[in-house]
Structure 1
Amino acid sequence: MSTLPHRLKRTPLASIIGFTLAFGSGFALAQEEAAPSDKGLETITVTAQKRAQNLQEVPVSVTAFNGEAMAEAVIKDMYDLQTNVPGLGAFQSQSATNSSFSIRGVGTSSQNFGLESSVGLYVDGVYRARQNSMINNLVDVAAVEVLRGPQGTLFGKNTPSGAILISTVAPSHSGGDAFVEATVGNYGLVNLSGAMSVSAIEDVLAFRVTGFSSNRDGTISDVNLGEDTLNDRDRFGGRLQALYTPSEDLSVRVIADYAEIDEICCGAPVQLSNFQANEIPGKFGTDAAIDQLGGTRFPGGNAFFDREVAVSFLPVATMKDRGVSAEVDWELDDNYTFVSISAYRSFDSYDNIDSDFTDADLFGTSNDSQQNSFSQEFRLDYTSEDLNFIVGAYFFTQDLDLEYSLYTDTIFDGFALSVLGQNVDALTGTAGSFSSLLAGIDGLATAGLIAPRAAGAPAGTGFNHVAEQEHKSYAIFSQFDYKLSAEFTLTAGLRFTKEKKDLLTVFTEVGPGINGLAGNTPVDLVAALTTAGGIAAGAIDLTTAAGQATLVNFQGFSEAGWAFPLLGDTTRPRSDIQESISDDQISGTLKLSYQPNSDTLLYASYGNGYKSGGTNTDRIAAGFNPIFDAETSQSFELGIKKDFRQQNLRVNAAAHYTTVDDFQANTFTGNGFNLQNAGDYEISGMELEATWLPMDSVEVHLGYALVNAEYKTFKAGNCWTAYTWHTGIDDPGRVNADDSFCDRSGDRPGGEPENYAVLSVKKDFELTDSIYAYVQGEYSYTGDVILDGSNDPYAVQDSYNILNLRFFMNFTDYDMDVILWARNVLDEEYINRTNFNTPLQEGKLNAYMAEPATYGLTVKKRF
């Protein structure tokens, strides 16, 4: 909102890049086709429209890599990929089984199992329903394509912001594609991988086997539990394929894969302490009691980058992902091809974290989930000189089960009473009110007037729930390209999607005396406090009937667990959820392309996307609806793709305007995730990707993305927490003083930088006749990032810069590569796109750290 104390400002970089793009575009239109030089621009083949095409002839904003380029860049996983893809966000939080992806500012948190991804994730044409399943190593990959903008026509599940397509290397008969690869690096990194094809029946049946493992120490230390323990790597996996080609017209490819993760993740050091309020003298928070509770207190601030935490136990994060798929490609004749892709997948994840993020034994959280899915796609492809079309049908079904538990530890009772005391004292405006109340209750119990006070928040209590989802999705789709003339091509697509979900969430409060507990409120406590004061002052005569009646204000305190409903939404009883959601959606695309010559493409496009609604699987505030509606998007795009062959320069650029209706926003409040439809969300921006080969031995790549995103309407968003606690300044978005929500209209979403740029320079040279080498540097700039959906002024990451370097050598005689590499060479310290209000510790912030400087050596041998 405009009244924020800290506003993110547009940097000069945006203006510079914008001028470069404008100049480049104008220059492109003025150029004639020229003969290529000895070392020219490469032809990149993509499948962004479900068929093989030259990237420069596709009216879609796409970034594409082949497998060799990724291997040379030492791109270990999806998180490394975002360095080279303007507009892509990929980061990890809470545990190794939680990852988030966004494109052009539209993304989805994976921390709520009721959400579907805004970015479609596909491996060999198979949709991956859980974002977490994509975090494993990228090994034996043929190509990766990142499609920006809604994908509401061709790709499996309809998605509102884009898609990531990963293709693995298929079995072959020719040989020469086998390899073994080893990487060693700092923090004890050891990566091993290999793959090999076997021709069982020449030109008919071939197999390919791929395997990998990755191990590394952590990058964050625990002061009690060991150095470099958290954020480690421990993962392995494999893939077995068969390719059957009984004739030139028919191929059948079967793929079975398995991957497993067992890691200690993730460390979240203290970003902001609440020991004492920054702007309110004499106001102390939970950190003031941490020492007394046996915990370690961190000051926050610059100490955040000491990469240290203190937790009661190390987090556990395990994941198993496996599946099998079969793709049939049958060329019916010169024009028609029938394609069938069938897949079954199973994904299990478990994480158990010390969710108070201290080494005081307070409380923890566990998530145990299982997901099984089946998908089937049938497609008929037609190709001719002037007309290409695709018509198909898609079916997807999944069962998703989640068992969640928030459980109290040995000293939670004392901590809970301390937190409750602060709340009550703040509510009454009198320090020591709560302590006086408890003393008065105990005095009445001693006198035999009421039952003795029970434990307010006993240890060993679990606040559990089970969430189940049965989901079915049906779709029919079609898209065609028709050449209106030699220069103009019209593309149109349409898709009908039907979604059905059956949702059940059952909440269970377990523990001594909890199930029958009445729903106390802080107001009840104030009433009891008033009564206790009246008794102590002699204003209430307990010998009368009226005086005896006032003792009802104390009856709840004799029941174990009486403090739980008073602590917040997470520990407050709630009703079960049982809902069925059925929704239909029509989406599609319309594009007009103009190609005056083989080196120039201009296009204008419109597309819309969709993802279905669902139910919040977390414990949220009672004022928020646990059911959220579908999210839809509409996007307009203008693009240019231009090769200047005489100058060996390629410029691809796109400007876009996107609106998202009923955006599914998910923000942690310190007492649970609030997942809801934000309202209208607006994004405008552009991407620029340029490649220049100024000489045979030098390559220069520039990528830039401008993502200007804000909530146009978001009337019931989260309010500032930490900033208000420390300063006493209320969120200006709170319309009424007693509202528990705030108007976030005009604010930016969390985790999305407005500006991102990467510049890469590569210099080739030959050490000897048999040793080819190059050095390459990548320098990236990431603009300011709002870290949390409430736009709390304390939740801002300033801009930062990352430098990656590598030295590559290819030994021709041995068909072997050796790569010396370093990432984040300057050891830039920054928060990895998200922080959070520490659970039940108002005024305190923790945050997830990005990786420090890493370096290593990779050796790859082909045979």
Structure 2
Amino acid sequence: MDKSNTGQLKKNPIALLISLTLGVPIPIVSAQEIEEEVETLRLETITVEAQKRRQSMQTVPVSVSAFSGKQLDQAVLKDIFDVASMVPASSAFQTQNVTNTSFSIRGIGTSSQNFGLDPSVGLYIDGIYRARQSSMVNNLVDIEAVEVLRGPQGTLFGKNTPSGAILIRSVAPSHDGANNFIEGTVGNYGLLNYSAAASVSAIDNILAFRVTGFGSQRDGFVSEVNTGSDVLNDRDRWGARLQALYTPSDDVTLRIIADYAEIDEICCAAPVQVSNAHATGIEGKFGTDSLLSQAPFNATIFDGSDFFDHKVALSFLPESQVEDSGLSAELNWDINEQFTLVSISAYRNFDSYDNIDSDFTDAHLFGTRNDSQQNSFSQELRIDYTSDRVTGILGAYYFRQDLDLDYSLYTGEQFNDFFLAGFAQGAFNDLLAGIDALSIATNGLIAASASPAPASTSFDHRADQKHESYAIFGQIDYQLSETLTLTTGLRYTDESKDLSTIFSEVLPADSTFPTFFTSVGDPADPESIVPGSLLYGAGVAGNVLAGIQANTIDITTANGQAALAALAPFQTLGWGFNPLGAITAARSDISDTLDDDQITGTLKLSYTPNRDTLMYVSYGTGYKSGGTNTDRISEGFDPIFAAEKSRSLEIGIKKDFPEQDLRVNAAIHSTNVDDIQANTFTGTGFNLQNAGDYKTSGLEVELTWLPTDTIEVGFVYARVNAEYDNFTRGNCWIAYTWHTGITDPGQEISESGAPNPYCDRSGDRPTGEPEDYAMLRVKKDFTVSDGVDAHIVAEYSYTGDVVLDGSNDPFAVQDSYSLLNLRFFMNFAKYDMDLVFWGRNVLDEEYINHVNFNTPLQEGKFNAYISDPATFGITLRKRF
């Protein structure tokens, strides 16, 4: 640093930051010039770690949105769903339970339904990779900053980041207690949030501790008609974090973090969106809702028009539980002025349990239970280098995860009646009655018929997956000139996964599971009645009964006894399960291995014509490892799916206009994804596969403007054009075709003349991703009285139409909607205390929350996940 004339000449602090970050020499200016410029430089300097070192956001050639802890507190952003709503081209939502949480960036995301899938969005807390997306849903308490990086991060954040990364940093221990606080929130629906954090200096400037704790309770906002009001979608969570910061010298820092959190909630409600009581376009066609409304079920039926009444009918309330804990250690050692050694070690444990009424009715049909245990160990070791013209990182990374999953689909007491009346459409009643009559006539010598789908049957599987990942990576920023900086980076990743899945079908009294038949078929379609099918077997058995009644078959003869063998399958308990579908069919165990390696990287050119402008062009690749399907899948379906790879081109500008107090960050991007991993529910199971090629492109704009001393305007806009470029084995329309008889135009006829079970989804949009999103935020500062400052904020957001189902079913579209959030903030300087009155979705806009699904085993029916209603509250935060 130039120390000459320090009494008269100084460097502008913002210019100095840019100089240190990019190595760009900045001319020395006078103190008078600084004072004149500071009057207009009121835009906040935001510090990010998007390149694993602290930099001003305006100097980083990465499309990133960042929120400081202060911003989170003042905006009452309490979880990652709140944050995602503030970020362009980003979404986060839950589906059937808190374990199933999905994140996407720029239209690229991953369903969390299958435990074998890794996320497309990398999730990191205090530098630690979180393998399960649902570990991010708990409350954001005592947070220093949240960063959302858009685009592939295949070099520095190379563990499964083909679309972006979310970085969360917690507040570190301190010796001065500057960040100590206690906070409480009350709101409608019985909301009660409480949190506190404090640092303690054990050895001055050497050892400090920090303890953080929080809890959150809230009633639900969806009623179950048999249980009570406002019971589903509640909140019940708590957590704690204990940290130690050891700084034995100016060159060494060791930070140790232990954390634990629990969630135990009744989640998540999925009211009926489209009923199949009767077809909308086919007269006289009735579905399972019509059947279930009658005896012996007498179920509560919703017609879909009452979707936003916030009511469901279930046999039992869903359970959703999570335990998340971990221990990490980060060591930073400044070896000299140029080299720093960084080591980050972590062990994490994530257990989840959920039990849901998966027929989504109050008939006692079937439920689903998931019980998983996951533990992981990660180690990152790197060297950071800084010189006048070069900054660089060289590192190695290791990740290991063990997954144990126990899954069970189990039948209720009315499932047998449902099978006979629903799937077989009464076709077997005469057959079973005939067998029973024959049994009576022979005084039981010939056995009576058996239940085809008895209650208390379970279809279980245990999946064990071991996952190891190794990587080496490096990135260099080289200053080509005073205005140009070249960034290059590479990462080599080696992945291996071993899967072992054991399947079992458990009938009551441990009866042997029968596998006589392979499919039900359609009684109206003669081509479906083929040897081996259930209807074929029923036809043969019916002919035998007819022959006995007509005395053409004498059961006392050898030939007659041989003919009776046709009745044996229907005298065996559970004969209807195997042909019902993959989720209730017997299948062999799976033992498989996946090995893969990949080279990813980035190339960026940054241009800084002046200290207020950054223009950049970047090309990056991302990689998400392949995996092993942990669901019960059809026999012969490949349990291994390949890696997902992305290539992205981005052109961006970050521009400050100091005289106008205006900041504009904008980027255009285009990404191609090869072998994107798609997981869609078909009504009888999940179809997990490599969909093919996928393209997304778009525009992002983030604007901050301070038109006056007391007004701040923020604007966010994202346009995302996302579609499957090549997806020939996608899901077909189910509900729309059932209701109208109109065949999916993507369905082809096979060589045998039968419809192909798959449909071409090329050109279709992905699930849950709007094309347009915009948000306008206006903040007005004012003084209430001496020592009491305040501001009021209004946030208005617009979300374009969303396709809710992977088949692009015409019934599965959420129209565009708008939300309004309001906040009134007051700071009491004398008491170092903040008070916030807040409201979200204050106009009570009603919309479906990103996803609907074909109701299990009830063709022609849709259920969907409901969004939060209007919520209001008061938050009080006291620092001490």
Matches within 5 A, 1:81-100: 81-100=83-102
2:552 is the counterpart of 1:541? yes
- Which secondary structure does the structure 1 equivalent of 2:755 belong to? coil
Query: How far apart, in 1, do the equivalents of 2:539 and 2:239 lie?
Result: 64
CA contact (8 A) 2:119 2:160 kept: no
Shift of 1:361: 1.2
After superposition, what is the alpha-carbon deviation per residue over 1:601-634, rounded to whole angstroms, capped at 9, x for unaligned? 1111111111111111112344642221111111
Query: How far apart, in 1, do the equivalents of 2:611 and 2:298 lie?
Result: 68
- Which secondary structure does the structure 2 equivalent of 1:841 belong to? coil
Shift of 1:445: 4.2
Query: How far apart, in 2, do the equivalents of 1:860 and 1:79 lie?
Result: 22
2:403 is the counterpart of 1:380? no
Query: How far apart, in 2, do the equivalents of 1:521 and 1:370 lie?
Result: 35
Letter in 1 for 2:553: L
Q: 1:518 aligns with which of 510, 516, 530?
A: 516
After superposition, what is the alpha-carbon deviation per residue over 1:328-383, rounded to whole angstroms, capped at 9, x for unaligned? 00001111100000000001000011111111111111100000100000010001
Seen in structure 2, the aligned counterparts of structure 1 residues 364 and 138 have a Cα distance that, compared at 3 Å, is same
Letter in 2 for 1:455: S
Query: How far apart, in 2, do the equivalents of 1:516 and 1:145 lie?
Result: 54
CA contact (8 A) 1:520 1:562 kept: no
Alignment-derived partner of residue 803 in structure 1? 820
Matches within 5 A, 1:182-193: 182-193=184-195
- Which secondary structure does the structure 1 equivalent of 2:758 belong to? coil
Query: How far apart, in 2, do the equivalents of 1:659 and 1:183 lie?
Result: 44
Letter in 2 for 1:592: L
Query: How far apart, in 1, do the equivalents of 2:446 and 2:760 lie?
Result: 45
Shift of 1:284: 1.1
Alignment-derived partner of residue 147 in structure 2? 145
CA contact (8 A) 1:542 1:548 kept: no
2:318 is the counterpart of 1:324? no
Shift of 1:109: 1.1
CA contact (8 A) 1:705 1:757 kept: yes
Query: How far apart, in 2, do the equivalents of 1:361 and 1:299 lie?
Result: 17
- Which secondary structure does the structure 2 equivalent of 1:192 belong to? strand
Matches within 5 A, 1:39-58: 40-58=42-60
Alignment-derived partner of residue 710 in structure 1? 723
Alignment-derived partner of residue 70 in structure 2? 68
CA contact (8 A) 2:607 2:616 kept: yes
Query: How far apart, in 1, do the equivalents of 2:283 and 2:562 lie?
Result: 41
Q: 2:539 aligns with which of 526, 530, 535?
A: 530
CA contact (8 A) 1:187 1:216 kept: yes
- Which secondary structure does the structure 2 equivalent of 1:564 belong to? coil
Structure 1 residues not aligned, in runs of 5+: 1-32, 423-431
Letter in 1 for 2:245: L
Alignment-derived partner of residue 759 in structure 1? 776
TM-score by length of 1: 0.93
Matches within 5 A, 1:253-652: 253-291=255-293, 292-422=295-425, 433-446=427-440, 448=442, 451-512=447-508, 513-522=511-520, 523=529, 524-531=533-540, 534=543, 541-543=552-554, 551-622=564-635, 624-652=637-665
Query: How far apart, in 1, do the equivalents of 2:491 and 2:538 lie?
Result: 62
Query: How far apart, in 2, do the equivalents of 1:570 and 1:613 lie?
Result: 23
CA contact (8 A) 2:466 2:498 kept: yes
- Which secondary structure does the structure 2 equivalent of 1:719 belong to? coil
Alignment-derived partner of residue 241 in structure 2? 239
Query: How far apart, in 2, do the equivalents of 1:299 and 1:241 lie?
Result: 51
CA contact (8 A) 1:402 1:466 kept: yes
Letter in 1 for 2:214: F
Shift of 1:439: 3.6
Q: 1:179 aligns with which of 178, 181, 188?
A: 181
Please say which of residues 392-401 and 289-298 is displaced more in the overlay: 289-298
Q: 1:854 aligns with which of 857, 871, 874?
A: 871
- Which secondary structure does the structure 1 equivalent of 2:811 belong to? coil
- Which secondary structure does the structure 2 equivalent of 1:689 belong to? strand
CA contact (8 A) 1:36 1:648 kept: no
Letter in 1 for 2:539: T
Alignment-derived partner of residue 20 in structure 2? none
Shift of 1:197: 0.5
Query: How far apart, in 2, do the equivalents of 1:622 and 1:796 lie?
Result: 33
- Which secondary structure does the structure 2 equivalent of 1:43 belong to? coil
Shift of 1:535: 5.4
Letter in 2 for 1:584: D
Query: How far apart, in 1, do the equivalents of 2:173 and 2:756 lie?
Result: 61
CA contact (8 A) 1:198 1:207 kept: yes
Shift of 1:321: 0.4
Rg larger for: 2
Letter in 2 for 1:672: G
- Which secondary structure does the structure 1 equivalent of 2:759 belong to? coil
Query: How far apart, in 1, do the equivalents of 2:809 and 2:320 lie?
Result: 29
Shift of 1:65: 0.4
After superposition, what is the alpha-carbon deviation per residue over 1:288-340, rounded to whole angstroms, capped at 9, x for unaligned? 12232434333333300000011111111111000010000000111110000
Shift of 1:40: 1.5
Alignment-derived partner of residue 29 in structure 1? none
Alignment-derived partner of residue 218 in structure 2? 216
Query: How far apart, in 2, do the equivalents of 1:435 and 1:276 lie?
Result: 23
CA contact (8 A) 2:259 2:326 kept: yes
- Which secondary structure does the structure 1 equivalent of 2:306 belong to? helix
Alignment-derived partner of residue 21 in structure 1? none
Query: How far apart, in 2, do the equivalents of 1:588 and 1:734 lie?
Result: 39
CA contact (8 A) 1:338 1:381 kept: yes
Please say which of residues 773-782 and 552-561 is displaced more in the overlay: 552-561
- Which secondary structure does the structure 2 equivalent of 1:288 belong to? helix
Query: How far apart, in 2, do the equivalents of 1:386 and 1:519 lie?
Result: 73
Query: How far apart, in 2, do the equivalents of 1:313 and 1:262 lie?
Result: 16
Shift of 1:788: 1.0
Structure 2 residues not aligned, in runs of 5+: 1-33, 521-528
Letter in 2 for 1:827: D
Q: 1:831 aligns with which of 838, 848, 858?
A: 848
Alignment-derived partner of residue 27 in structure 2? none
After superposition, what is the alpha-carbon deviation per residue over 1:243-300, rounded to whole angstroms, capped at 9, x for unaligned? 0001111100000000001111111111111111111111111111223243433333
Query: How far apart, in 2, do the equivalents of 1:547 and 1:150 lie?
Result: 71
Query: How far apart, in 2, do the equivalents of 1:675 and 1:527 lie?
Result: 31
Query: How far apart, in 1, do the equivalents of 2:219 and 2:512 lie?
Result: 42
Alignment-derived partner of residue 779 in structure 1? 796
Letter in 2 for 1:499: E
- Which secondary structure does the structure 2 equivalent of 1:813 belong to? helix
Query: How far apart, in 1, do the equivalents of 2:431 and 2:813 lie?
Result: 40
Query: How far apart, in 1, do the equivalents of 2:655 and 2:118 lie?
Result: 36
Shift of 1:776: 0.3
CA contact (8 A) 1:717 1:742 kept: yes
CA contact (8 A) 2:803 2:814 kept: yes
Seen in structure 2, the aligned counterparts of structure 1 residues 606 and 338 have a Cα distance that, compared at 3 Å, is same
- Which secondary structure does the structure 1 equivalent of 2:748 belong to? coil
CA contact (8 A) 1:450 1:555 kept: no
- Which secondary structure does the structure 2 equivalent of 1:121 belong to? strand
Alignment-derived partner of residue 770 in structure 1? 787
Please say which of residues 614-623 and 376-385 is displaced more in the overlay: 614-623
Question: Share of identical aligned residues, percent?
Answer: 64
Shift of 1:532: 5.4
Alignment-derived partner of residue 703 in structure 2? 690
Shift of 1:537: 6.5
Query: How far apart, in 1, do the equivalents of 2:767 and 2:78 lie?
Result: 26
Letter in 1 for 2:361: T
